[in-house]
Structure 1
Amino acid sequence: QGPKTLMMLNLLGTFPLLLLLLGSWGPVDPLGAWAQPRTRAQWFAIQHISGGPVQCNNAMRRVNNNNQRCKPQNTFLHTTFRNAAATCRLPTRPCRNGQNNCHRSARPIGMTFCNLTRGRFPNCRYRTTRQNQFYTVACNRPQPGDPPYPLVPVHLD
């Protein structure tokens, strides 16, 4: 530490120490675990990407915790985000909502379908069904924080 720094610390007394201690605690965000901002592609990955078959009662906890409710239905694709993003490079087709940013997978893949059977949040209970099917995703340009692909999946159509 230089003489100017020491002189400044002496003039300020213990105030810098107090600031240092307060700053070391870091920012406090009591809702941080619940309200973390996510891009649409990140939320797509949470809701729909799994490395393989899942058990719905367990897999749906992460999905349901975001909105604090039992989502009635959900589909998990047994693939990687990279493979789902590669689907975005295939020819476009109309989406169910009429937009023209959907893309159909080149081949069927394994999927897990989760259907709510009973329960109230957080005790949601699901029926688990597995199938091999084609899937269709809506794709958009990536947002900051997304992987650097030309297009990323944002919705399972």
Structure 2
Amino acid sequence: MSERWFFALWPDDAVRAALASRLPELLPVGARATHPSDFHLTLAFLGPLAPDVLGCAERAADRIRAAGFDLEIDRVGHFARAHVLWCAPATPPEALPALVRDLQAQLSICGLAADPRPYRPHITLARKAAAMPASDWSTPMRWSVRELVLAAGYGGPGPRYRVRRRWALI
């Protein structure tokens, strides 16, 4: 299977542990939990890339000049069609969609088009989730976002994603 590239926000160890600790109370019967090492919030999905386009995407990220920001993860939801259980900020700070817009503008130089669907920031907690969880997100969780990453998905059992490169948000 070829690598599927994407830019994302990658939680630190403390945020990953906090997410993982909440999963047991949220996980519907039959759902497949995301491996804690794979928790991330996608900014731009790129798919399989030729080496020259991958290099261009890295140079695009080199040009990003965005400040770090805080996310408050305070909502849990379910994409019924995709059978995905997720968590997200109910009200994302303006810095998040601004970062996505800036990244998309830089990636367009590489010929990589932005996803035409509205951006819906979320962290996938589980797949094959046929229903909403019985429990709700009990206490908001703060995540201090300080970096952007380029990662690739490889399929197979978790962890399924590997970070190739990181960029500090200033």
Q: TM-score, normalised by structure 2?
A: 0.25
Structure having greater relative contact order (Cα 8 Å, sep ≥ 6): 2
Between Structure 1 and Structure 2, the one with more strand by share is 2
Q: TM-score, normalised by structure 1?
A: 0.26
Between Structure 1 and Structure 2, the one with more helix by share is 1
